[in-house]
Amino acid sequence: MPGYNYSVHLTIFVKKSMDYKKYIHIVEDFPSPGISFKDISPLLSTPGIMAAAAKDIAAKIKTRNLDMVVGIESRGFILGPMIAAELNVGFVMARKVGKLPPPYIETEEYKLEYGYARLCLPTISIKKGMRIHIHDDVLATGGTVKSVIDCLIKNNCIVDSCSFIIDLSFLNGAEKLKPIPLFSLIDY
């Protein structure tokens, strides 16, 4: 978008080839009362829809001169490699601690619903100066993505942008990620 001010408008909704919202299963009171869970299973299991979603995200970021796509465990591992393949760049998994062999770099601890966690990235795949796009399924409070962004920046990478299938914008996760450009297919 010409003249786009990322510090004012953080989330850019991807121009879509279809209405992806109709492929989201809403489960009320899951995993606990008062929560309206957004299940991406129908989007993934409907023939052609998962590929269309990856292509729509890749189309939005194809001119960004990226070196790598980082997918966040575990659902960022689904569309992340497909987006990377569309862009003809590599893919790296941000895994939970204990799931990657050394050498790796660890994120700072981030808050979960019931505690804290860290993620790891393989140092053999992350190189100084790389332009990186981060993908995950849902942007909620932003803590997980922020920890990966901070880790990559600390290790001299350039975090170019982030994408999500769903942005739960009412949780204001995008605020934690300023000024990184964000792309999503669906907003709630």
Name the nearest CA neighbour of 79 among 20, 134, 124, 36.
134
Name the nearest CA neighbour of 118 among 126, 127, 105, 108.
108
Q: Which helix (H) or strand (E) holds 115?
A: strand 115-117
3-state DSSP assignment of residue 65: coil
CA dist 66 → 43, 88, 183 (Å): 26, 9, 15
Catalytic residue numbers? 75, 113
Angle in degrees, 0-180, between the axes of helices 49-61 and 76-87, rounded to the nearest 10: 60
Tell me whether the omega of the peptide bond preceding residue 103 falls within 30 degrees of 0, making it cis.
Answer: yes
